[in-house]
């Protein structure tokens, strides 16, 4: 896959993901009557800007397709006296501010569900993909269902894939349900797979399959089931990062995503669409985390305000957001550095 095509696909996927996220914030801000200075797609130097008739907002496209923002009146510590008080963010009701903050995540999730539905409608779906289709492991037979990996409940392919990743190269146990309803726990000995002396993954001695369906109802079911399974996988990924079961080196930043996009583009449009849905869910989930500098951080302060009955001091809130933003940039640099090392 050529660099140019990979770049186009990379900009396409991140551009759609960021645009839909920021459009969610923008739409609800406008609906609430909040003055919006700028709606920007991308970060860094501005490439193009324009204004619409009878609209105060400046629309911008910036150089780096790795983010975007909606700049609203009332987000800053010092009030902009040029903007009427009733057009500032702080003047709006708690629910209006909450919906404006959470709208970006909502739109990312909706985009993912729609894309997953389209994929399923076109090519059909595979559900319940934890059944054994091939096995050379004693005690594991074709038709058995994997229900547990190392003591962790498994009921879908995404959770199974995560638990196998966490298990890595060490021996681990799986619990299988046989066709007669009985259960057995079996020890698995992973075998490393290399390609041109590079580790590509592990073989476990079994393959899995599921039930293939191709209908409108199954497509709707798949879209929602896959969405919730991916969210669950994200939750456990964060938890395993906190507990040290997964290394930060396994995370990918823009450079890593660029490489993944190139691999996806080489296999076809359906894989690219699947990646779009996955990245959209990831962006929504990460932004929902109650960490200052993310949307979830703003939502956290709104919840604190609701509990204590009065707003948090804007100076304190902005300081906390700034500190965490700097920490996140440091983390992003670390992840990007590791992504670059993986290229060599």
Which residues, 6+ apart, have CB-to-CB distance to 125 below 8 Å?
212, 213, 214, 218, 219, 221, 222
- Coil vs helix vs strand at 151: coil
| Alpha-carbon separation of residue 304 from 72, 139, 272, 296, 297 (angstroms) | 21, 53, 40, 12, 11
Report whether 146 contacts 160 (CB < 8 A): yes
What is the DSSP secondary-structure string of 224-271? HHHHHHHHHHHHHHHHHHHHTSS-GGG---HHHHHHHHHHHHTT-HHH
Burial class (CB in 10 A: 0-12, 13-18, 19+), 191: exposed
**Total number of residues shown for the chain:** 344
**Burial track 134-144 (b if 16+ CB lie within 10 A, e otherwise):** ebebeebeeeb
Cα 188 to Cα 170: distance, rounded to the nearest angstrom: 9
Q: Token pair of 320, please?
A: 């906390």
Report whether 19 contacts 111 (CB < 8 A): no
Identify the CA nearest to 13 among candidates 59, 63, 66: 66
Q: What residues act catalytically? A: 22
């Amino acid at each position: 896959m050529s660099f140019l095509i990979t770049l186009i696909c990379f900009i396409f996927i991140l551009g759609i993901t960021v645009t839909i996220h920021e459009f969610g914030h923008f739409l609800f801000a406008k609906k609430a009557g909040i003055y919006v200075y700028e709606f920007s797609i991308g970060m860094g130097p501005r490439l193009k800007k324009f204004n619409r008739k009878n609209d105060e907002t400046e629309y911008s496209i910036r150089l780096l397709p790795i983010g975007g923002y909606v700049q609203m009146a009332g987000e800053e510590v010092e009030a902009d006296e040029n903007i009427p008080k009733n057009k500032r963010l702080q003047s709006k009701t708690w629910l209006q501010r909450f919906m404006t903050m959470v709208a970006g995540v909502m739109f990312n999730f909706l985009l993912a569900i729609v894309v997953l539905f389209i994929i399923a409608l076109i090519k059909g779906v595979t559900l319940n993909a934890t059944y054994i289709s091939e096995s050379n492991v004693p005690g594991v037979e074709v038709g058995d269902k994997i229900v547990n990996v190392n003591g962790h409940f498994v009921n879908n392919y995404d959770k199974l894939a995560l638990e196998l990743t966490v298990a890595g190269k060490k021996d681990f146990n799986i619990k299988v349900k046989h066709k007669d309803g009985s259960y057995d726990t079996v020890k698995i000995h992973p075998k490393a797979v290399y390609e041109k002396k590079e580790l590509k993954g592990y073989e476990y001695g079994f393959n899995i399959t599921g039930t293939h369906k191709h209908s409108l109802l199954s497509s709707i079911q798949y879209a929602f089931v896959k969405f919730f399974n991916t969210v669950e996988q994200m939750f456990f990924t964060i938890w395993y990062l906190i507990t040290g079961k997964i290394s930060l080196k396994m995370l990918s930043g823009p450079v890593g995503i660029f490489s993944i996009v190139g691999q996806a583009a080489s296999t076809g449009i359906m894989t690219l669409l699947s990646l779009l849905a996955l990245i959209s869910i990831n962006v929504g989930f990460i932004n929902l985390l109650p960490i200052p500098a993310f949307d979830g951080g703003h939502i956290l302060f709104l919840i604190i305000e609701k509990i204590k009955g009065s707003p948090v001091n804007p100076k304190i809130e902005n300081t906390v957001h700034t500190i965490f933003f700097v920490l996140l940039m440091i983390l992003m640099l670390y992840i990007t550095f590791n992504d670059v090392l993986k290229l060599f």
